[in-house]
Amino acid sequence: MKAGKRRVAASRASRARASPGIRISGPSGPRFDEILAPDALEFVTALEERFGPTRRRLLAARGGFRKVVRSGRTPGFLAETRGVRTRSWTIPPPPADLTDRRVEITGPVDRKMIINALNSGAKVFMADFEDSHSPTWSGTIAGQVNLRDAVRRSISYRSSDGRDYRLAEQTATLMVRPRGWHLEERHATLRGRPVSASLFDFGLYFFHNAAELVRRGTGPYFYLPKIEHYREARLWNDVFADSEERLGLPAGTIRATVLIETLPAAFQMHEILYELRPHSVGLNCGRWDYLFSFIKQYRDDPRRIFPDRASLAMTTPFLTAYSRLLIDTCHRRGAHAMGGMAAQIPIKGDPVANAEAMARVIADKEREVRAGHDGTWVAHPGLVPAALRVFEAGMKGPHQIDRPPDGTSIGPRELLAIPDGAVTMEGVRRNTRVALRYLAAWLEGVGCVPIDHLMEDAATVEIARSQLWQWIRHGAPLAEGGSVDRAVFRRGLASEAAALRAESGGSAAPSSIGRARRLLDRVVSARSFEEFITQYAYPYLRDAEGRGS
């Protein structure tokens, strides 16, 4: 072969190995071609090419907080960023439709859910590709279709009983939560490597809807999950700036709220707001994931055993400290300090139990508004009126950003105080029950599951299974006598699996119950701690048509 021909052949082979764009391997569905159009995939490809390597480096660098813990030292605020914490600076004022956020409703990107949430009377709806979404390929792309229609107000839905659902004249402001930095979308690959699920979810939504949102007088607004370091917030800011420039939008068009749901992030609240400064609009208390992260960081320490999950209310001192630090940080910087989730759902047919549940919701929201939060979360439209009444009574303006801080000093001692309380057999069984039922539904493509009158999501299964792992690893003593071990857990798991199989009309098929039982057993019984159960279980996920996702 002549040298020129050899060079041409080598060049062709190189181009074949290094595909110029993202390759899609997921099954097709109605209108998927609209979302996965070539120009949209080119946009996501550009994001992955530019920011994917940085994302991977940041994920590989995680663990610094845990190294401090394992060394026996007490973690603290970062010396390298002291100037950020001590200097005077603020974020830009919120856009008009994010000024009043006193009640926000969250939920998955299902078509009916989107309509009901936008019509709920809440100020904001966070459409979720993360904790309340089971990331099947079909569900993820259908969710993008649904949001595209919602932005253009063309979304509608007809239920099996013939009822029609359409948007009301006045609706909540839309925010979107993409998946966290740690997750990948394995049906979209670039040169054989799965792309970042964060960039995939964000990129498709932003490309299709940003200009339309601005034209309609709103904007592309986001919630950012699972951040562990201010450099991860800086990466999001770089993604936002690049995306605005590519679509010709003014800098700062994107606004984002960060969920403080990891223990390392609690020590970097100022820094996270600062890194996202042109795009910041607030921080949020993600309480269940925060507890999960706390256990993860201290998993090897037998002196730090958490009691039953039911006893870990926000009135527990270390959670109160976390909430107060978030409020003081946000208000000092001109940002919204959003409260946590009320997961209760209305209890039909039992007015006494329903009244008790609503009383707990109201008490929780009264605590939040008194503490200084500018808004709160609910999981069900039925809770919106009660939460609104509490915040309208306790917060006369659209927010409390100008409220002076209470002067309380919050440091490592307050943030890291382990709560008192017991581990009980009821706590073991409840964690087992909730984790199994949620995981079985999640494997079938359902990411938001009502269990025992609470709307549960992936944060629930994470805190439940991490507690079970911790109790087994350290032989936590039971209030009834004896201790937690694998045998205790497995007896409860077998009983709960049998009960779930005996029920009819559930969202989980028998095969998914068995798969969920095996996965939960492996994760809870293993000697090493699995970082994220959803990441571990992702290869076993099935799409909506029942094929391997």
Distance CA 115, CA 246 (A): 31
Known catalytic membership, residue 177: yes
For the beta sheet containing 184-190, the strands, ordered from the edge strand earlier in sequence to the opposite edge, are 23-24, 184-190, 193-196
Helix/strand number for the chain, H first, E second: 21, 15
Three-class SS state of 354 = helix
DSSP tag of 108: E
Catalytic entry in 55, 101, 102, 177 = 177
What φ, ψ does residue 243 adopt, rounded to 5°? -65, -40
Three-class SS state of 260 = strand
Three-class SS state of 316 = coil
DSSP tag of 165: E
Catalytic entry in 457, 465, 473, 517 = 457
Q: CB neighbours of 531 closer than 8 A, spacing ≥ 6?
A: 182, 296
How do beta strands 124-128 and 173-177 pair?
Answer: parallel
Beta bridge partners of 173: 124
Three-class SS state of 319 = helix
Q: CB neighbours of 151 closer than 8 A, spacing ≥ 6?
A: 174, 209, 212, 213, 216
The answer to whether residues 275 and 234 touch, using CB atoms and an 8 Å cutoff, is yes
Distance CA 329, CA 323 (A): 10
- Which positions are annotated as active-site residues? 177, 457
